[in-house]
Structure formats: C-alpha cells, structure tokens
C-alpha cells in the first residue's frame, strides 16, 4: 500500500484548507498520514510561531528518517508566509528522495505581483521541481506555465463530504417551491466577498418580488457593519444565522434556492460545491475556479462586474422562469455528485499518487 505524508494546517482550526483535508481523510484507501504545520490555535506571538516552525522542521526530518513514504503532499497558498514555510518542506522532502505533490489553495494577487526577478527565480527553483502541481483554477495553471513550470499541472477541485448527498432533499426542494425563492449568501462576511453587493441586489429584487427572502450564513469582520447596513435600509426578511456546520448547515442549504456570491477574488469555495449538491442555482462572478465549474445559463449565471443591478437581474430571471431554475437545480446536483464529492476527489488524488510512483519505478534501473 502506498504511504503518503500529507502536510496540513491544524485540522481543528476553521478554514478552507483544513476543512477540505479533514473531509478527504474519511475517503482515502491508501495510507495517508497527517503532519501538522503552520500556526496553532494557542500561538499569539511571532517568537512562538518561529520557535514552533523550527520544531516542525526538526520533527519533519525525523519523520522522513524514521519511515518510508512514497509521496509528500504539501498544501500551500500563494502568499509570503506559506511559500516560505512550505518551500522548506518541499526542499527537505526532495533531498530525502521523496516525490512531492504541491497543491496551491489560496492565491494572493499582491504576492503574485511581487514574484519578479530573483524572487521568481527562487520560487521556481523550489516549487517548479515538484513531481506534480495541483491548482484550483485554469487561470492559475496558465500563470504557472507562463512562469516556466515543467511539472505536470492539474486543475483540481475542493470537495464536500459525501454524507451531504441526498437526492430526496432535492425532490423536496422542488416540490416546495411555490413562487417563493430564497437566496443564500454563505461565506465569510467580508467586503471582498461581496456582502454589500448582495444586500443591494436583494433590495432591488425585494422591491419588485416581495416573496423573496435572504439568508446570510457565516461570520467575519464585516458582519456587524453589514447588519447595520441592512437595518439602515430597512431591508426585511433577512436571516443572519452566523457560522453553521453539520445538520444546521444542511438545513440552511435545504431551505435555499439560489446561491449568491459577488466575490472579488476566489479560489474554489467549498460552499459553492455544497450549494450545487443541494440543487441551488449559482449567481457569482467568473473569478478563480468558479469560471471553470459554473456554466453560464446552465449552472447559474456568471456576472462580469460587481454591479448589484446585474445580480438582481440574474436572480429575477430565475424567479420568472421556474422551469429554468429547476433544470439548473438538477444539473448542479448531478454535476456535484459526480465531480465534487470527497470520495471522487480522493480517488483522483490516489490515481495521481499511483502514477507518480509507477513512473518513478519505470525510471529506476
């Protein structure tokens, strides 16, 4: 059986990367061991983080010396601290003769812009020599290819737990619709996630379609300000449910019909995939991995700009055409089950690991 060493953030810390890797853990059939790197919940100072980082390096070297691993899988974001931290582990793994897989999750445009000259050369010397690279959007693959990456680059997806898949929930949702359409904003409540554009679009739709309702699920630094923004405009029928998980998250998704996310930048949020599994039509922007999975007019609508009126118009088209909304619901459910369930994502990763090991064996004398 293959042995994989998976580098992860603290899986008890809320976040997209930790949530994805914790979800995949239930579906691997190969031997995957988890090695925690990055900030821990109890750390509060730079000195503590630096000391822990040195400890992680020593622990990682001892782990590689003590056992044989076929692949080390590293999960950085394209941002300064993660690139420095995980670059060290990539170098150590390669020096130990272990094949490396690098999966870029987050992608900070300001850090990307800083990768020029010697910085880009150093970045390439470390990460371009990985045996395989995974990204969450085709535009990111194109950027790495433009930079001269020679390793195979695959566009992967995030994933949701298979336990969310329930066809009977979709049938109940479709039977329940009687002209009332419920919108869902499910993300961190931040300005850059489009919370204010969402509220403005909702106000426009609500003025013409009084039965429409909005649920905002998530926490964030803009939550209180967004609530005040809605109150100042006297927007009715908004449910602020906060951070949800487990059965409460499933209930929120079951009750919604249209997922709205006017996000400014994005990787590939799991919440969108979960919404698709629950048969929600998606109204968002063509940023990050969203442009790869949302087919305009079939999965929902992709809005090029941030104009709330454009989002309101897309939502009203769905309200006016219930047959189209139902078809999008069924399309998204089927697509999500086939591509984005954690079991499917785990099988794709295992196939990648197998290919790397087989290729290496063929090259050995």
* Domain ranges, ordered by start, for the chain: 3-159+341-363, 162-339
Q: Do 218 and 242 meet the contact criterion of CB atoms below 8 Å apart?
A: yes
Three-class DSSP category at 301: strand
Q: Do 38 and 10 meet the contact criterion of CB atoms below 8 Å apart?
A: yes
- pTM of the predicted structure, to 2 decimals: 0.84
Nearest alpha carbon to residue 299 among 252, 335, 342: 335
Nearest alpha carbon to residue 303 among 281, 324, 325, 330: 281
- Encode burial over 337-348: b for 16+ CB neighbours within 10 A, e otherwise: beebbbbbbbee
Which helix (H) or strand (E) is 283 found in, with range?
strand 281-284
Interatomic CA distance for residues 258 and 182, integer angstroms: 6
Q: Do 253 and 280 meet the contact criterion of CB atoms below 8 Å apart?
A: yes
Residue 349: partners with Cβ closer than 8 Å, 6 or more residues away: 24, 28, 73, 156
User: 163-219, pLDDT tens digit by residue?
Assistant: 887 766 677 777 676 667 899 999 999 999 999 999 999 999 999 999 999 999 999
pLDDT number for residue 163: 85
CATH code given to domain 3-159+341-363: 3.40.50.2000
Give me the phi and psi of 316, to 5 degrees please. -65, -35
Sign of CA dihedral 340, 252, 300, 220: negative
Interatomic CA distance for residues 121 and 123, integer angstroms: 5
User: 268-294, pLDDT tens digit by residue?
Assistant: 888 999 999 999 999 999 998 999 999
Domain over 162-339 is classified CATH 3.90.190.20: no
Q: Which tokens hold the place of 209? A: 């379609």
Nearest alpha carbon to residue 179 among 217, 215, 213: 213
pLDDT number for residue 44: 75
Chain-centre distance of CA 211, in angstroms?
32
pLDDT number for residue 365: 42
Lookup result for tokens 């992608």? 107
pLDDT number for residue 177: 64
Interatomic CA distance for residues 264 and 266, integer angstroms: 7
pLDDT number for residue 263: 95
Nearest alpha carbon to residue 352 among 68, 24, 22: 24
Residue numbers of the chain with a pLDDT score lower than 70: 167-169, 175, 177-179, 359-365
pLDDT number for residue 55: 93
Nearest alpha carbon to residue 87 among 48, 115, 45, 68: 115
Residues shown for the chain: 365
C-alpha atoms less than 13 angstroms from C-alpha of 34 in its C-beta half-sphere: 15
Q: Do 130 and 311 meet the contact criterion of CB atoms below 8 Å apart?
A: no
Secondary structure letter of residue 192 according to DSSP = G
pLDDT number for residue 364: 46
């Amino acid at each position: 059986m293959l042995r994989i060493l998976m580098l992860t953030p603290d899986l008890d810390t809320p976040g997209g990367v930790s949530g994805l890797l914790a979800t995949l853990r239930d579906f691997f059939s190969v031997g995957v061991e988890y090695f925690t790197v990055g900030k821990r919940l109890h750390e509060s100072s730079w000195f503590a983080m630096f000391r822990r980082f040195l400890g992680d390096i020593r622990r990682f070297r001892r782990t590689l010396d003590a056992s044989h691993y076929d692949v080390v899988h590293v999960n950085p974001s394209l941002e300064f601290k993660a690139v420095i931290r995980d670059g060290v582990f990539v170098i150590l793994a390669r020096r130990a003769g272990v094949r490396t897989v690098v999966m870029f999750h987050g992608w900070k445009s300001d850090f990307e812009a800083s990768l020029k000259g010697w910085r880009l050369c150093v970045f390439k010397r470390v990460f371009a020599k990985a045996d395989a690279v995974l990204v969450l959007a085709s535009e990111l693959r194109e950027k790495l290819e433009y930079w001269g990456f020679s390793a195979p680059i695959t566009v992967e997806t995030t994933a949701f737990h298979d336990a969310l898949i329930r066809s009977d929930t979709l049938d109940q949702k479709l039977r329940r619709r009687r002209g009332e359409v419920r919108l869902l904003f499910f993300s961190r409540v931040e300005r850059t996630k489009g919370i204010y554009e969402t509220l403005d679009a909702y106000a426009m739709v609500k003025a013409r379609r009084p039965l429409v309702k909005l649920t905002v699920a998530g926490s964030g630094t803009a939550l209180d300000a967004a609530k005040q923004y809605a109150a100042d405009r006297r927007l009715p029928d908004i449910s602020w449910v906060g951070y949800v998980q487990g059965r409460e998250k499933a209930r929120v998704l079951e009750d919604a019909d249209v997922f709205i996310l006017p996000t400014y930048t994005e990787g590939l949020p799991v919440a969108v995939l979960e919404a698709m599994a629950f048969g929600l039509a998606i109204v968002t922007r063509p940023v990050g991995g969203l442009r790869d999975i949302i087919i305009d007019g079939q999965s929902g609508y992709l809005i090029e700009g941030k104009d709330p009126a454009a989002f309101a118009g897309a939502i009203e088209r769905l309200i006016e055409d219930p047959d189209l909304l139902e078809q999008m619901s069924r399309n998204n459910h089927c697509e999500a089950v086939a591509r984005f369930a954690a079991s499917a994502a785990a099988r794709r990763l295992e196939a990648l690991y197998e290919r790397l090991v087989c290729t290496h064996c063929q090259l050995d004398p």
